[in-house]
Amino acid sequence: MYIHPLNTRSPLLQRCNISTLASALVLVTSSTLALSQAQAAQSFKPEASAAFVQALTGQELRGQNNALISVTYDLKQWHINGEKPPSYQKLFIGKQTVTLRDDGRDGDKKSGDGIFSSFVEFDFKALFSKHRRIEKWANATGKKALPPHFENRQLLGRAEIISSNSLFPIDPTIQPVIIGPVKQPIITLTKEGSLSRLDNRSPDTLSQQKENVRITPIMSEEMLPAAIRLGKPIPLQSIGIPSAISEQKSLLIRDPAVVTDPSRTFDVCTGAGNPNGVWTFKHLVTEMANEAKTGITPEKFVRMWLSQWETSQNVNGWNIADRKNSIRNRVIDPWEAASGGPEEPLDLNKAPFQLLAVVNRVDLRENLVYGGGSAGEGRFVFQVMDGCNPMRFTVIFEYGIEKRSCSAVQNWGQRWVNLGNMVLGSAAYNAALENITESFVRANAAPSKPNGSALNQLRTNEIALARPWELREFVIADAGWNQHLLKPNTVALTPDDSLNNTPILRNYFASGISGVPLRFPTVADPFLGGASTAPRFFWNAPNFPMTLTQAEQRQEFSLNTCNGCHTRETGTSFTHIKPGAIPATLSGFMTGITVTDPAPPPGITITRRFNDLERRSADLDGLVNSSCFAQMARPVLRAPH
């Protein structure tokens, strides 16, 4: 349940009729800031709610095609996107081009019902191996090995392996299985789920859980062959074992043997290391400026970026106050002095930035069974140094990873997984990690993007320059007076702070618009902010929420904003990777925390459990150990953090 333009699972959209949604969409698309219909159609990748495979037997077999795939879509996705639901969908699965049909032909049972089907060649042996792997891992290491169930990044519990034949038959038209007040639930959630279902206890101290948790069953090693032999629908799902992934080697790498590697990093305080190393601030900005292509020196590229704190900035109609005195006194002036004076170019060998972490965000990927697109991001996190003292100021380089197919993104994920087989910080490990990072850092890694750089955005989090904590975002300008330079950008999915607790935000919640537009459509006023501050922040609206459905809507929106995710919604003090000591400390949101909802309905207490590294681990393991068919029903994570 993620707030984004194509989210038909949101309770907000479920209670709105199509005409209301279409009217809201017209308001958005009438803006010159919105995508054209052609652009939207080109980028539209629908989300499936369930996928199933059935083995064909006997006379049903069709050449090399040994299975029937059925994929369930909510057809409202196309209406919301301004399109008519298609009668077929093309998928690219390995070497197969699969045409899913919803026209009542070639395996499709009923036209227009949102269940798209196709005869395919399917590897049942690999599916069996996947189920056997999960079961064996759970038997060896306990329930922690079972796939967790996350929704909107909340940990709700873990699936149970089911071996009872009472599971048959499974009807794809009613999947996923609804787990709730039933006599014999197919799957139960363990006690570590962060929320519990409402019962008859007093509501003033009650933790709230959605009445129905949607999760698809995992068939046991004994049960799966029977399902294949009988031609029963078998759920396909991208599920993974969190403990099979080394978080510190494959996801969030902050070990001193890596981030202080003397051949790849540089310590501006001690002078130890290599100032031209591939994991230095100097190398990243040099490749990003791409002087050979743009004519912009990396020294000018950095100086012009820093100057944006010296004057007030106007971003999407919002004024972002300068932090002039501190940026000069604590960053620019000392660096200029070390470079030979203010008239000299900045000496990038003396850049006051220290590497904290290298981060794999393949979990931000699109569903690439529909063709090429985003395979997530690769990130570098630096802290800004005041001499030898770390400042409460981090800089995050966030590079986009583009791949052409599902199998290509699986291969990308496998490269990160393979790091887990090496000794952390060893020569072999660091060389393999360098090969990965250079693939997106080097100049011209993304020829079609500004400067040829793969950078999606650069973000800063700081309270070192002024109070309160402030997050800014920058992108490389592709035109205008500042072409090829970093320019301020709106902060992702986050309105300007001044709109919190205002009627316009309540109108947004009631409008049926599930994206966060640059301008609020009904009044065409600026909406998306130019910076995000965080004095223990959460988003809310007057007299809202009053119901549990509204509470989920509010929390989902607030969690996906910059300041909501970095403060009250996750119990965080603004940074998830803390500046200061090496190795960097992580927030509870990353490692496991229970948070009380800051704005529940009257008389209700809501607690939520987060463990984002576990979520990312399960996602990465599921990516590399599930077929591309199973990736179809994976919800896309829309949050930018």
pLDDT of residue 163: 64
pLDDT-based confidence at 514, cuts 50/70/90?
A: low
pLDDT-based confidence at 139, cuts 50/70/90?
A: confident
- Tallying the residues shown for the chain, one arrives at 641
Mean pLDDT of 109-136: 93
| 213 and 291 share one domain | no
Q: What residue spans of 534-580 are helical by DSSP H?
A: 548-559, 562-565
Residue 537 lies in a domain: yes
Query: Tens digits of per-residue pLDDT, 230-287?
Result: 889 999 989 899 999 999 999 999 999 999 999 999 999 999 999 999 999 999 999 9
| 443 and 566 share one domain | yes
Lowest pLDDT segment from 101-110, 512-521, 616-625: 512-521
| 135 and 207 share one domain | yes
Distances (CA, A) of 285 to 276, 352, 479: 11, 13, 19
Q: Find the angle CA(55)-CA(636)-CA(102) to the nearest 5 degrees.
A: 45
For 53, other C-beta atoms within 10 Å of its C-beta total: 24
Distance between CA 339 and CA 348 in Å, rounded? 8
| 298 and 216 share one domain | no
Higher pLDDT, 10 or 602: 602
| 130 and 213 share one domain | yes
Residue 481, judged by CB atoms within 10 A of its CB (0-12, 13-18, 19+), counts as exposed
| 290 and 233 share one domain | no
Residue 503, judged by CB atoms within 10 A of its CB (0-12, 13-18, 19+), counts as exposed
| 198 and 276 share one domain | no
Residue 460 lies in a domain: yes
Distance between CA 221 and CA 226 in Å, rounded? 10
Residue 163 lies in a domain: yes
| 476 and 590 share one domain | yes
Last residue of a domain, one of 238, 263, 293: 238
Kindly state the percentage of the chain with pLDDT values over 70.
84
| 368 and 453 share one domain | yes
Place of tokens 């994920």: 413
Query: Tens digits of per-residue pLDDT, 342-392?
Result: 999 999 999 999 999 999 999 999 999 998 899 999 999 999 999 999 999
Residue 602 lies in a domain: yes
Instruction: Name the 3-class secondary structure at 408.
Output: helix
Per residue, the 3-state secondary structure of 199-212, as one string, reads CCCCHHHCCCCCCC
Distances (CA, A) of 456 to 319, 385, 637: 23, 24, 16
Last residue of a domain, one of 180, 213, 238: 238
Distance between CA 340 and CA 623 in Å, rounded? 51
Residue 300 lies in a domain: yes
Residue 511 lies in a domain: no
CA atoms within 13 A on the CB side of 138: 20
Distance between CA 207 and CA 199 in Å, rounded? 9
| 375 and 469 share one domain | yes
560 and 638 in contact (C-beta within 8 Å)?
Answer: yes
> Is 75 a residue whose pLDDT tops 60?
yes
In sign, the C-alpha dihedral spanning 479, 480, 482, 487 is negative
Asked if residue 148 has a cis previous peptide bond (ω within 30° of 0), the answer is no
Last residue of a domain, one of 220, 238, 256: 238
Residue 94 lies in a domain: no
Beta-bridged to residue 400, according to DSSP, are 377
Higher pLDDT, 29 or 355: 355
| 375 and 271 share one domain | yes
Domain of 386 in residue numbering reads as 247-494+529-625
The DSSP secondary-structure symbol of 273 reads B
Higher pLDDT, 573 or 312: 312
Determine the straight-line distance between the first and last CA of the chain, rounded to whole angstroms: 16
Q: What's the domain count of the chain?
A: 2
Query: Tens digits of per-residue pLDDT, 425-478?
Result: 999 999 999 999 999 999 999 999 999 999 999 999 999 999 999 999 999 999
Residue 74 lies in a domain: no
Instruction: Name the 3-class secondary structure at 267.
Output: coil
Phi, psi of 174, rounded to the nearest 5 degrees: -120, 10
Query: Tens digits of per-residue pLDDT, 274-329?
Result: 999 999 999 999 999 999 999 999 999 999 999 999 999 999 999 999 999 999 99
| 314 and 266 share one domain | yes
pLDDT of residue 37: 28
Place of tokens 């400042």: 391
Distance between CA 216 and CA 199 in Å, rounded? 24
pLDDT of residue 138: 85
